[in-house]
Amino acid sequence: MSDHDHQTISAETEAVSPRFADLDTWPAGDIVASLVEAQIAAASALCAVRPALAAAAEAAADRLTDGTGRLVYAGAGASGRLAAQDAVELHPTYGWPAARLILLLAGGEVALARSVEGAEDDAAAARAAVAEHDLGPSDAMVSLAASGRTPYVVAAAQAARDRGALVIGLANNPDTALLAAADWPILLDTGPEVIAGSTRMAAGTAQKAALNVLSTTIMVRLGRVYSNLMADLAASNAKLDRRRIEVLRRIRPADEPAARAALDRAGGGIKAAALILAGLAPDAANRLLDRHGGSLRAALGEVEAPR
């Protein structure tokens, strides 16, 4: 790689890369090859920040472990839509309660489907939203903006941190206001886009991957995974109901009728159902889980401990 190429790769996301000049004249195969290469490189950008991702996830889990704190996402435009996508998956996948999830999206829900003029520049709206939700020391925020300068997102991060909430900041440009506002700044260094300034591409891929890693690690650390199984999986449709049975039978081997009966007695909770299959009554199973902060591994360990 030449010095010039290195300088291009490390430039800001809005920079125009000479490597892709005259892209509109290229054959489709070459365009696709360049885009695929850029997507792979974007995901690889996470390798450099693995320690930061781990530390940030651990810190967020510590804030949320008391059972009252909220997980908050703050974003605008394409980054905000990625944040929303990550957020809405937390309940079906990990049973994360809706009451403990907040999405601060510039322009509100309407911005999920279309651009809202000027919303990302409305810092006052972000500060008002943080105050309205009364964010505080038990809450953890994941804020993201490719540029690292989006006024709505920066203001949300600053206001949340001022109120004592933990703030994780994801940006694709160095030395930016969002990273400065965060307790845990994470730079996803994806450089200029194939299509100059189209940060939904490489920057967006890195953001989506980082969100996957952060939220999954947080949920694992909060005991919402047993082994590598979704122990708090919510049943919102027939497919997920079937999956709950399969997960339970992997945790505690049982025939299907017994597993379904245990789930019914547990009110649908996989963890309590596993303890019921281990011989506990439903009330005792729930009390044991509460005593161990929802950790099924710890609860089963107590049940199976030698007398």
Catalytic residue among 89, 132, 246, 302: 89
Query: In terms of Cα–Cα distance, which of 64, 42, 78, 41 is closest to 168?
Result: 64
Q: Is 132 a catalytic residue?
A: no
Q: Cα 227 from chain centroid?
A: 20
Find the helix or strand (DSSP H, E) in which 242 lies. Answer: helix 238-251
Radius of gyration of the chain (CA): 22
Q: What Å distances lie between residue 270 and 35, 165, 185, 242, CA to CA?
A: 42, 31, 36, 12
Q: Residue 74 pairs with which residues in a beta bridge? A: 104, 143
Q: Is 304 a catalytic residue?
A: no
CA–CA distance, 23 with 11 (Å, rounded to integer): 19
Query: In terms of Cα–Cα distance, which of 175, 138, 133 is closest to 156?
Result: 133
Catalytic residue among 37, 117, 120, 193: 120
CA–CA distance, 84 with 92 (Å, rounded to integer): 14
Residues annotated as part of the active site: 89, 120
